[in-house]
A and B are shown apart, each in its own frame.
Chain A
Amino acid sequence: MLIACPYCGPRDVAEFTYQGDANRPRPDPASTDLDAWNDYVYQRANPAGPHREYWQHSGGCRSHLLVTRNTLTHEIAGVAFVRSAPVPATKPAPAAPRKRPASRKAKP
């Protein structure tokens, strides 16, 4: 697999560090919405097909990159600097803190 770094050009995948799924909407840091945080930390769409994901060119220019790659074929459709790419919308904090769902009260 070669990743075409917009700064360095096409480089071997060994030079890059995978940073995972780029589609996870991160809640506002002030949010106390447990479901939204659970979603962000633990839930993944895990598609078979095109996948937007973060890589860092850690063995090169160290840029953070947004890569669109097909998980069925490993074909790369696009690479961009993260700073110039749209990030998934930040979920705003809800007006009033939500009640904890009943399931969380259960004893471990």
Chain B
Amino acid sequence: MAEYSVFSLLRNGFNANRDWAPAWRKPEPKAAYDVVIVGGGGHGLATAYYLAREHGITNVAVVEKGWLGSGNIGRNTTIVRSNYLLPASIRFYEHSLKLWENLSHELNYNVMFSQRGVINLAHSPAQSDDFMRRGNALRHEGVDAEWWDRDRIARAVPGLDVSASARFPIVGGLMQRRGGTARHDAVAWGYARAADRRGVDIIENCEVTGFLRDGDRVTGVRTSRGDIAAKKVAVAVAGSTGRVMQAAGIDRMPIESHVLQAFVTESLKPTLDTVITFGGGHLYVSQSDKGSLVFGGDIDGYNSYAQRGNLPVVEDVMSEMVALFPGFARLRLLRSWGGIMDMSMDGSPIVTKGPLPGMYLNCGWCYGGFKATPASGWLFAWTIARDEPHPINAPFTLDRFARGLVIDEKGQGATPRLH
């Protein structure tokens, strides 16, 4: 049953919103848990939920430094798709997309998942070949992909500059109809509520400052609210991975933290009902249900923990947006912000047991961790509960770099700012 029905809305509307029950408790941390998850972003919360739901492990705490949703889960541009090129990535993100398709129902929380389709625009014959190859790789794995020519795109996306005189004329595009967007905050809140209802303690404003150790083994966490013992400690702190791992004595990781900015315009009437990405540079744009255009581009490209970026990228993103949709030049920008990305050395994530005994690690999400949220939590929970990876996340290890088994979608090499 929906907890937020028309009737409860009306009743609360008339009595000053006094009857709402909190969506999750605010418990004091216990002295010990079976599993402590560090980081209450989308991935940490999803992990807690699937530990309880799939593996019956409910003596779990999620320890979050700030408020739920204060990290990247509340800062992203909400694009969900599974149209990757390499088999390991396709399987990972397709697993996620399948979980997305039933997520609102499963959590009994409307995450506003909207399969409005994602079109990756191609601007040259070479790029078309490349995208068609990716489309074929996807269909080979049973994932939907369609090649759309320019005229079809022009009919579907009014306002797009499809003229031959554009600086990067549009040749066609790869459409994934099952892709789309979801409401990022609702994903955090939905997983938090569902985990809490199954007995998981969500502990906000509690920063992990160190790890309890017994020799090599990790036996718990030191926090700003006291020590918490745990049989298993799972780290899912996205952009803060380097700092948290340093507290565990791991000085160097195949990760650099970079800042990514995002932008929102004033609201306008429905004008864009798909997600569009620009292949002539790097831009992705969709229209939110409130009517704002939500968009972003490249990371700034230098190491940063500042959660704010610089103007050159702003200029770059705006010029790309206006190149694609000349009419959008008249819109006013409402807000912009930044988030800290855990850029890995091959552009792919790490979901694994270790690197210390008693520890489990989830990081390296780069630009793409929102769409991964359900699968990341599902697979990480599996790995924690069974002490071995599921076949889908088995390739996403930490030692794949040393072993020459990188999963590099772009073939870019160990240059995080270019992934």
Number of interface residues of B (CB under 8 A): 28
Q: How far is the CB of A102 from chain B (nearest CB, A)?
A: 11
Q: How far is the CB of B414 from chain A (nearest CB, A)?
A: 5
Q: How far is the CB of A97 from chain B (nearest CB, A)?
A: 17
Among B254, B306, B415, the residue within 8 A (CB) of A43 is B254
Closest to A67 in B: B302
> Contact: B312 with A12, CB < 8 Å?
yes
Q: How far is the CB of B412 from chain A (nearest CB, A)?
A: 13
B242 contacts chain A at the CB level, 8 A cutoff:
yes
> Contact: B252 with A44, CB < 8 Å?
yes
Q: Which of A46-54, A79-87, A88-96 contacts B (4 or more CB under 8 A)?
A: A46-54
Among B243, B301, B303, B402, the residue within 8 A (CB) of A42 is B402
With most chain B CB atoms within 10 A of its CB, the pick from A38, A46, A103 is A46
> Contact: A43 with B252, CB < 8 Å?
yes
Q: How far is the CB of B392 from chain A (nearest CB, A)?
A: 16
Given contacts A44-B255, A45-B252, is CB(A106)–CB(B403) below 8 Å?
Answer: yes
Given contacts A12-B312, A14-B312, is CB(A71)–CB(B414) below 8 Å?
Answer: no
B54 contacts chain A at the CB level, 8 A cutoff:
no
> Contact: A13 with B253, CB < 8 Å?
no
Interface residues in A25-53 by Cβ distance below 8 A to B read 34-35, 38-39, 41-48, 51, 53
Closest to A38 in B: B402
> Contact: A13 with B242, CB < 8 Å?
no
- Chain A residue contacts of B301, Cβ below 8 A: 18
- Chain A residue contacts of B257, Cβ below 8 A: 46, 48, 71
B337 contacts chain A at the CB level, 8 A cutoff:
no
B256 contacts chain A at the CB level, 8 A cutoff:
yes
Closest to B243 in A: A48
Q: Roughly how many angstroms separate A44 CA and B256 CA in the complex, as a whole number? A: 7
> Contact: A103 with B310, CB < 8 Å?
no
Q: Roughly how many angstroms separate A81 CA and B229 CA in the complex, as a whole number? A: 49
Closest to A106 in B: B403
> Contact: B414 with A72, CB < 8 Å?
no
Closest to A17 in B: B301
> Contact: B243 with A45, CB < 8 Å?
no
> Contact: A45 with B401, CB < 8 Å?
no
Q: How far is the CB of B66 from chain A (nearest CB, A)?
A: 15
Among A18, A44, A71, the residue within 8 A (CB) of B254 is A44
Q: How far is the CB of A70 from chain B (nearest CB, A)?
A: 9
Among A21, A43, A104, the residue within 8 A (CB) of B253 is A43
Give B289-305 as 1s and 0s: 1 = Cβ < 8 Å from A's Cβ atoms: 00000000000011111
> Contact: A71 with B399, CB < 8 Å?
no
- Chain A residue contacts of B251, Cβ below 8 A: 45
Closest to A14 in B: B312
- Chain A residue contacts of B256, Cβ below 8 A: 20-21, 44, 46
> Contact: B254 with A103, CB < 8 Å?
no
A108 contacts chain B at the CB level, 8 A cutoff:
yes
Q: Roughly how many angstroms separate A53 CA and B258 CA in the complex, as a whole number? A: 14
Q: Roughly how many angstroms separate A104 CA and B253 CA in the complex, as a whole number? A: 19
B75 contacts chain A at the CB level, 8 A cutoff:
no
Given contacts A44-B256, A103-B403, is CB(A20)–CB(B417) below 8 Å?
Answer: yes
> Contact: A44 with B312, CB < 8 Å?
no
Q: Roughly how many angstroms separate A41 CA and B254 CA in the complex, as a whole number? A: 9
- Chain A residue contacts of B306, Cβ below 8 A: 71-74
B322 contacts chain A at the CB level, 8 A cutoff:
no
B359 contacts chain A at the CB level, 8 A cutoff:
no
- Chain B residue contacts of A41, Cβ below 8 A: 345, 401, 414
Interface residues in B281-332 by Cβ distance below 8 A to A read 301-306, 310, 312, 315
Given contacts A71-B304, A71-B306, is CB(A46)–CB(B255) below 8 Å?
Answer: yes
Among A12, A34, A47, the residue within 8 A (CB) of B402 is A34
Q: How far is the CB of B195 from chain A (nearest CB, A)?
A: 29
Q: Roughly how many angstroms separate A20 CA and B253 CA in the complex, as a whole number? A: 15
> Contact: B399 with A103, CB < 8 Å?
yes
List A residues at the B interface (Cβ < 8 Å). Answer: 1, 12-14, 18, 20-21, 34-35, 38-39, 41-48, 51, 53, 69, 71-74, 103-104, 106, 108
Question: Which 6 pairs between the two chains have the least Cβ-Cβ distance?
Answer: A46-B242, A43-B252, A14-B312, A42-B401, A48-B305, A38-B402
What are 22 residue pairs bridging A and B, where the CB atoms are less than 8 Å apart in the complex? A14-B315, A20-B256, A35-B402, A38-B401, A42-B254, A42-B414, A45-B242, A45-B251, A45-B252, A46-B242, A46-B252, A46-B253, A46-B256, A46-B257, A46-B303, A47-B242, A48-B257, A51-B303, A71-B305, A72-B306, A103-B403, A104-B402
